[in-house]
Structure 1
């Protein structure tokens, strides 16, 4: 079923139970995520859910309406543009086996391993069999990138794209969307692929994982994909259903970060660009490469950016609430921006060629974030290597763990 505002069939007479404080669309039961007000028009109090309001309001006076779709197969041919490596082919076969046996699977793959392309064969087979497919992620940036890659590969397939403010609908049989959009689906998808399963807010919100399992059909296959799995993910699929991919598709090692010991706070507070940071950016841009400069806080980025802009005119900054966020990312991708300051919003879901990375105040980042940030470098076949620098005031377990994880991948081992 698909929840649709103007559909004929009523699924629930109310979207929200005002007495028990339950949202029938997203299953929210936490009272602080509901808002109650008196409506002069209805002559009664109305309760609506704040948890899923970004995809449309679910309230106590409006019924939830649904449509039911019928299975429909399509040839769903795809063009890959390259041949899968033996390791990629093995992982692809395991996903197909999981689809055939209706089991869940965890693809534990190094960043840049070609996870998206590894799923193509299973997607194609699922659609040929009339099974509904969803490719989802917690991050809009990832969803947009995946949609472009899938549209380019499955040229004759009708693919939905759904995220906040965007709806491209084509039958709801092959859907690319953010996890939040799954609140509108019940027992619908037979193959659900969750990319960047470790990305915020999915690991911290059990309700989102519930949305994934509720949107999946009773005999579905759910494939979780991540470079940094946690115990909950492993328990969800079972350790025997974990597939590891320790090499990137081009076969080159991951870049190992170099640590520069410097506290930058004093220089920035004096409105002075830290010397070591300036030298690194200068060396990168003089070498005709680009650089992402990651910072742990927006406030620090806002204080540092004018100092960098003065020395490097082709620089910019971006954060999650930036209204020009996607325009700025495109400028970086097109080579118009040479140095881009960013928060963790660009730690995943983006690929730039000729890229190096600097992490300022690296001691303030988690190991999972640092691993993802390091994964931005060396993703292209024509640029398989690069440099990563951690600027840190002191050493931390997260910095040491990041180096250990990357070295383990390069040695063909995993850390689970």
Structure 2
């Protein structure tokens, strides 16, 4: 029971033990029971929500009363007023101290090395740190020294990310470089949910099941949806940490409030303003192309964007084109397919999404149209990037920086063009370009960019 419950908060009915065994552990003082819903404040203890719109009443078969339950975290199992959250309060589960846990022969760039050292110091001192690293800087490798420091001192670590596909990518990568450490990968439907691993890679949603579990909490892509706007997930991160623990955030695009805190010295941070290949980030070019939606409704694309696509096809250069809406993307696709029928499009609900991305990686698709679903997490060595309708409000400053970060990521092809086709410049567009120019300036100042 200790291994399953240590650092967790589970509903009583979730426990895979007979009631008699649970009561025995309770008598020894090994279990902590907390009410699931606080009626006086109308708040959920598991997910922290206090918004009354997320609570509903139902006749409870267990206690016979009409009770409130929380709809916000209903996917984790229904929690109501008479529900009990159970946590381990007995002896600690001690994790072993692994000597020389890191088995990696790679080399860090100068920028990565500086950040890596600060991450390791934050882990050692149970401190908070923001790693503000440009897209393609190699953030995962920056974590290695900090994770190694934690494993060598018997600490428990969690790397949390908003997206399941990042969990699936990170788990084997970290297992390869930390071969002597047990790693659990947690996401919806994961088979590792009862594992008490020393290193856990989890979606931020899965942290709702943890309670004071980790001495080291690393949150990757802290700017990504839904974590960036969901206070429940931010509450889950805080609740899953031990009272004395380190908290490390990773992002290429911190929110404006955090950027201001960094400038005023109110937040500990380290920047990696340049990619490991020492080339500057591609700076977006703004091109006005009129009332493009009106043109699309007539089955046409503004000539300048059509010429952009024709030039890439003629040069054999792959390209990603981002569109603000699926309807606009599909209309654009029909027009571009007149140039080349192998051009494809992809969006979040596309059942062939993964297959199309693989075909694009294999150079079977010359141009791939997409919504913001591919703004991060996709690395293609040699591509140009364009945004159609960059003025649309879905293209936030953060999204545009990430989109621009798809180009020039490879050491073999460190350059690439980024073009924002627009019907009027927005503050988000200008802010994205300012942020990229600022990072290039800082990279040159620190000697991290060759030219």
User: When the two structures are superposed, what TM-score results if normalisation uses the length of structure 1?
Assistant: 0.89
Query: Cα offset for 1:215?
Result: 0.8
CA RMSD of aligned residues (A): 2.7
Please say if residues 80 and 117 of structure 1, whose CA atoms lie closer than 8 Å, have aligned partners that are also in contact: no
Query: Cα offset for 1:44?
Result: 4.4
Query: Cα offset for 1:177?
Result: 1.5
Greater CA radius of gyration, 1 or 2? 2
Measure, in 2, the Cα distance between the counterparts of 1:337 and 1:322: 16
Please say if residues 204 and 236 of structure 2, whose CA atoms lie closer than 8 Å, have aligned partners that are also in contact: yes
Out of 39, 44, 53, which is 1:32 matched to? 53
Query: Cα offset for 1:216?
Result: 0.9
Measure, in 2, the Cα distance between the counterparts of 1:242 and 1:346: 27
Q: In the superposition, relative to structure 1, how do residues 395 and 60 fare at CA in structure 2: closer, same or farther (>3 Å)?
A: same
Out of 301, 304, 329, which is 1:301 matched to? 329
Tell me which residue corresponds to 1:281: 309
400-409 or 332-341: bigger deviation: 332-341
Matched, 1:99 2:123: yes
Unpaired segments of 5 or more residues in structure 2? 1-6, 17-21, 445-451
Please say if residues 76 and 156 of structure 1, whose CA atoms lie closer than 8 Å, have aligned partners that are also in contact: no
Query: Cα offset for 1:148?
Result: 4.2
Out of 195, 199, 202, which is 2:220 matched to? 195
SS of 2:412 mapped into structure 1:
coil
42-51 or 388-397: bigger deviation: 42-51
User: When the two structures are superposed, what TM-score results if normalisation uses the length of structure 2?
Assistant: 0.83
Q: In the superposition, relative to structure 1, how do residues 15 and 319 fare at CA in structure 2: closer, same or farther (>3 Å)?
A: farther
Measure, in 2, the Cα distance between the counterparts of 1:325 and 1:67: 42
SS of 1:36 mapped into structure 2:
strand
SS of 1:279 mapped into structure 2:
helix
SS of 1:84 mapped into structure 2:
coil
366-375 or 338-347: bigger deviation: 338-347
Counterparts of 1:44-55 in structure 2 under 5 Å? 44-45=65-66, 47-55=68-76
SS of 1:276 mapped into structure 2:
helix
Out of 134, 137, 144, which is 2:168 matched to? 144
Tell me which residue corresponds to 2:107: 83
Tell me which residue corresponds to 1:333: 361
SS of 2:208 mapped into structure 1:
helix
Tell me which residue corresponds to 2:423: 393
Query: Cα offset for 1:383?
Result: 2.1
304-313 or 81-90: bigger deviation: 304-313
Q: In the superposition, relative to structure 1, how do residues 351 and 151 fare at CA in structure 2: closer, same or farther (>3 Å)?
A: farther
Measure, in 1, the Cα distance between the counterparts of 2:87 and 2:64: 27
Q: Deviations over 1:365-414 (max 9, x none)?
A: 22221111111111122222211111111222322222222122112269
Tell me which residue corresponds to 2:3: none
Counterparts of 1:155-234 in structure 2 under 5 Å? 155-169=179-193, 170-230=195-255, 232-233=257-258
Aligned length: 414
